[in-house]
Structure 1
């Protein structure tokens, strides 16, 4: 089924994006603002471990945000916007992705991923349901892989994770204070070692790399000192405002054709604002396992 394959590709991209920006488990149900009074901007930190710890505590207090994401890969560009509640097992996410003119509405709630279906989707999948559900406990192969991946990625989707990666796989190259969208921020330029970052991301989403694949990656990266330059802008509450990750050198080292850039920009707003994400009505939802059976798995 062509559309299901497309959904799988988009879901995998979303998982990787979340894993690149996500992190520690959290607890509690409220979503208060990080602080009642306006915080003053402190000096940038030079210790990535200390910076990661402070940002993790700030996101635990804020717990929610809105976000936009733009990914550029050569001549192709995709965008996404959404909101998230970062609360460990109870984390929720809603996102609208637009890739090559095709929009995709997706929700993650209660350990299940929901895709909104348009008329063409319904016709291909032979269903009248408005949503497709992929459960972590689904019996078909796609559900078992993607459902579990997405469940883990969203559960750990605290945006402070990027700083956890820096503390384990990179270093702060330089820092300064700049104004971004009218707000004073601490701006960090960090260098993340590609080999270490891959291992961290795959571990986050529960995908152990086969030895053969790992050897191939290591062979392509060996001796090249490939890094993933990343810029971060943090506000006075140590919360991410913008993250820009440049994967150009990495994809070239992997043998990707062409000389185009590969870059992801994520912007966060409305930290601590209330987030309402609800599952679609049960009678409007079709389960992927059942739909694939009816459609003959095509």
Structure 2
């Protein structure tokens, strides 16, 4: 074996680089929304993947589901399993698998908010709230554009020292980010909380949409930052486009 071939083999076997270790102590919490969002994005950028568990309350019902997410530059990929189904979000594309196939042999329904078709855009923009709750990319965008920092302090989640931020989101400042409130959200405010560890990685995010028509709230716990996750689009021959499906159903 040549030296070059040996070097190539060793490189191929090398594991993915580990995220940098967390600082030994918490930095002081950010004092404004811009600082908070910038700090969180930097922390996520050093270890851009994680697993999560979300506990969601929809009216009288409580659901718990698990999943993983990955950050690719400015886009989020997310996979989650709940109610015997699965949803994957890859950039602007959403794929949903349900136990009952809409078309035999095609267990997945796909939508694309980036499509030129206005119907597809509308369908893609209507991401179910259950999928929205754990999406940190969306959460940070909402905080950045509509958030007000109510308080910031230091505490612990279990044994983990964290900076704890209490926030208030105003859907009226960016209605397109809050489709569950309708085109004119009015005066409804959305309480939210974010906990960051010493490496500025989110440990927990909680948001309360009870003031809106959805009457929902959710708490998501994040773990295993930096551990690789595999989130891929389903095989194309197993996906039916939602726009085409609606046409077949005469809607």
TM-score past 0.5 threshold: yes
Alpha-carbon offset, residue 126 of structure 1 = 4.1
Q: Does 1:104 align with 2:92?
A: no
TM-score, scaled to structure 2: 0.73
5+ long unaligned stretches in structure 1: 1-29
Q: Provide the C-alpha distance between the structure 1 equivalents of 2:53 and 2:22, rounded to a whole number of angstroms.
A: 26
Q: Does 1:35 align with 2:16?
A: no
Q: Provide the C-alpha distance between the structure 1 equivalents of 2:168 and 2:246, rounded to a whole number of angstroms.
A: 44
Residue among 184, 191, 203 paired with 1:241: 203
Residue among 69, 72, 78 paired with 1:87: 72
* SS of alignment partner, residue 25 of structure 2: coil
Confirm or deny: 8 A CA contact 1:34 1:58 kept in the other structure: no
Alpha-carbon offset, residue 128 of structure 1 = 2.6
* SS of alignment partner, residue 250 of structure 2: coil
Where does 1:39-58 land on structure 2 (aligned, <5 Å)? Answer: 39-58=24-43
* SS of alignment partner, residue 86 of structure 1: strand
Q: Provide the C-alpha distance between the structure 1 equivalents of 2:143 and 2:115, rounded to a whole number of angstroms.
A: 35
Instruction: Tell me the residue number matched to 2:4.
Output: none
Cα distance change on mapping 1:171 and 1:78 into 2, 3 Å? same
Residue among 52, 64, 71 paired with 2:49: 64
Residue among 148, 153, 160 paired with 1:176: 153
Give the number of the structure whose residues are more often strand, by fraction. 2
Give the number of the structure whose residues are more often helix, by fraction. 1
Cα distance change on mapping 1:95 and 1:160 into 2, 3 Å? closer
Cα-to-partner distance string for 1:16-75 (whole Å, 9 max, x where unaligned): xxxxxxxxxxxxxx9755413554212223233222212122222222121222221321
Instruction: Tell me the residue number matched to 1:267.
Output: 221
Q: Does 1:297 align with 2:229?
A: no
Instruction: Tell me the residue number matched to 2:12.
Output: none
Where does 1:185-196 land on structure 2 (aligned, <5 Å)? Answer: 185-192=162-169, 194=170
Confirm or deny: 8 A CA contact 1:31 1:64 kept in the other structure: no
Where does 1:120-199 land on structure 2 (aligned, <5 Å)? Answer: 121-122=100-101, 125-136=102-113, 142-147=119-124, 159=136, 162=139, 165-166=142-143, 168-192=145-169, 194=170, 197-199=171-173
Residue among 58, 64, 73 paired with 2:58: 73
Instruction: Tell me the residue number matched to 2:237.
Output: 283
TM-score, scaled to structure 1: 0.63
Alpha-carbon offset, residue 131 of structure 1 = 2.1
Where does 1:17-32 land on structure 2 (aligned, <5 Å)? Answer: none
Alpha-carbon offset, residue 166 of structure 1 = 4.2
Q: Does 1:116 align with 2:97?
A: yes
Cα distance change on mapping 1:140 and 1:80 into 2, 3 Å? farther
C-alpha RMSD of matched pairs (Å): 3.5
When structure 1 is superposed on structure 2, of 175-184 and 235-244 the one drifting more is 175-184
Q: Provide the C-alpha distance between the structure 2 equivalents of 1:168 and 1:292, rounded to a whole number of angstroms.
A: 34
Cα distance change on mapping 1:166 and 1:137 into 2, 3 Å? closer
